[in-house]
Each structure stands twice: as structure tokens, then as C-alpha cells.
Structure 1
Amino acid sequence: MAKGGFPGMGGGNMNNLLKQAQKFQKQMEDLQKDLEEKTFEGKAGGGAVVAVANGKKQLIDIKIDAEVVDPDDIEMLQDLILTACNAALKTAEAETANEMGKLTGGMNIPGLF
């Protein structure tokens, strides 16, 4: 075997590539941890319903203003809750995609998040 790596592979270049891959992996892990600790809000009905999701895209809280609780119109409340939840999850997804895009230079790497 040639000194510094595999024959014909340019050992120094291979080492640099490995170091870059390890650095990228560490950056990805750090970014994922940071995003998982963030929270994202979605609102509906002018803030009458607020849903909070974490960076893992899990709902962690729902706040409902007592004024929108009308026993004769449960459907409206259900719609407001769905709208707020979807807005929170969409915000979490957009933030994750934005931060990932910064790290990957806009490359779409399936399965990262």
C-alpha cells in the first residue's frame, strides 16, 4: 500500500474528506439538538387559540381563550385548534428547513430531519 493511504486514492485528500465529513456530522448533530430545544407557536382566531410545538414537531401546549368556548359551536373551536396546531407545526418545519439549508448550502439531503 502506498504511504499515506490507499493506492491511487491520494491519502491526504482522503484524510481531509474524512475530517470534513466528521465536522459536518458534528454540525448536524448540534443543529438538530438546538432545533429540538426550540418552541414554535401557531395562532388562530386572532390568538384565541395558541398551539405550541417543539423542534421534534410534537405539540407540547394548547391555550384556549375562554371567550371562544361556545358549547353551541364546538365545530368552530375544533377548526381553530386544528388551524393553530397546523400553523405551529408548519413554523417548526420551515425553521428546520431554513436552518438545514444554511448548513447544507441549500442541498436537499433526504432523511436528515
Structure 2
Amino acid sequence: MNIQHMMKQAQMLQKKMNDMQQQLENVEVIGTAGGGLVTCVATAKGVIKKVNINKDLMNPEEVEVLEDLICAAFSDARRKADELVNQSMSSLGLPPDMMQMMS
């Protein structure tokens, strides 16, 4: 394998990764907690777009429960986004954590 061929492959891989990153900005994941009482919509790149809270949770005496559910929904969305990124990286034949190394 010559150096020109390797450089061409590296450029093609870089383009595929850039394309994938752009696609991930538009893909949304939904994290849930409390059986769907709290949902969090985020992009696959981790940008939080929306939080929905069931009005039944709006009890001033149970603020800690609501806070815990919001955190759980965020965590669920992040986990789903990470899984999606890992699948995308694997489809390119790259290690799943390579996207994190490039950030």
C-alpha cells in the first residue's frame, strides 16, 4: 500500500465522519423517566431540545421527586445518544469512542 492510497483513504474517512456528525445534529433521541411522566428530547450530539413534564408532577411538596425524574430523563437521552453515535461509528468500521477522542 503506498502513501497516496493511504492518504486518499484517510480523506474519504474524514469526509464520512464529517457527514455523520452533520447527520447526528439532526437526529433526535427521547429520554424518559417515571414511566413517561418526564421526557427529554435531545440531539444525538447531546443538545437538549425540549423537556416535557406531566402536570401531575407539579406538586411543590415533591420537588425532589421531579428533580430526580428530570435528571433521569436527561441521563436516558444521553445514553440513547451515545448508543446511536457508537452504532454510527461502528458502521464506519471505527472504534465507538473515536468521536469522543475527536471532540
* TM-score in terms of structure 2 length: 0.88
1:47 and 2:36 matched: yes
Structure 1 spans left out of the alignment, 5+ residues: 1-11
Report deviation, 1:58.
1.7
Q: How much is the aligned-residue C-alpha RMSD, in angstroms? A: 1.8
Q: CA deviation at 1:104?
A: 2.7
* Corresponding position of 2:15: 26
**Following TM superposition, where does structure 1 have runs of at least 4 consecutive aligned residues deviating by more than 4 angstroms?**
none
| Deviation readout 1:53-85 (Å, 9 max, x if unpaired) | 112212111001101211111111111111001
Task: Tell me the percent identity.
Answer: 32
Q: Distance in 2 between matches of 1:19 and 1:85?
A: 40
SS at match of 1:61: strand
CA offsets per residue over residues 24-65 of structure 1, 9 Å max, x none?
111010111111111111001111100011122121110011
The count of corresponding residues between Structure 1 and Structure 2 is 102
Pick from 68, 93, 106 the counterpart of residue 82 of structure 2: 93
Equivalent position SS for 1:73: helix
- Is 1:112 equivalent to 2:74 in the alignment? no
* Amino acid paired to 1:28: M
Q: Is the 8 A contact 2:86 2:97 kept in 1?
A: no
Structure 2 counterpart of 1:76: 65
Gaps of 5+ in 2: none
- The alignment's TM-score, normalised by the length of structure 1, stands at 0.81
> What is the identity, as a one-letter code, of the residue corresponding to 2:76?
A
- Matched residues in 1 for 2:69 and 2:50: separation? 14
Aligned counterparts of 1:23 and 1:35: Cα–Cα separation in 2: 18
SS at match of 2:2: helix
Larger Rg: 1
